[in-house]
Amino acid sequence: MSVETCDKNLRPLRVGDVLKVYHYTAALRRKKHYMYKHITRTQWLGGYGGRPKVLYFFVSHLNLKPEIESGDGGYFLGMHEGIQSRYEIVQCLTSDFEDRPKVKMEV
């Protein structure tokens, strides 16, 4: 079984989290640039050709537009993808993300 998706600090991702996602490093002065994303919901995907359905997070851009209007409203991220080293939780609905138990990695 794979490990649940977590940020670089091993905190599990949940619906309602705001994520800081590494975007690129500028050539001049080597400054890192980030994007901010919001996990808005979960959705079952797959189930075609005998494959089982899998639960995904929907990660939305912070443009405050409905998914239908924006065209590129976001993307899906698997719920069991392991450590996402370019992701960091910066805010959540209940302000308890720092107290969440860290994900234990299987060796």
CB under 8 A, 24+ apart: contacts of 104-107: 105/3, 105/10, 106/3
Stronger pLDDT, 90 or 73, i.e. the higher one: 90
Spell out the residues 6+ positions from residue 18 whose beta carbon is closer than 8 angstroms to its own. 36, 37, 38, 62, 89, 90, 91, 92
Flag whether pLDDT at 64 surpasses 70. no
pLDDT at 46: 86
Flag whether pLDDT at 100 surpasses 50. yes
Q: How far apart are CA 44 and CA 92, in angstroms?
A: 23
pTM: 0.81
Flag whether pLDDT at 96 surpasses 60. yes
At which residue do the structure tokens 């977590």 appear? 6
Q: Are strands 53-61 and 74-78 parallel, antiparallel or unpaired?
A: antiparallel
Averaged pLDDT of the chain: 85
pLDDT at 1: 47
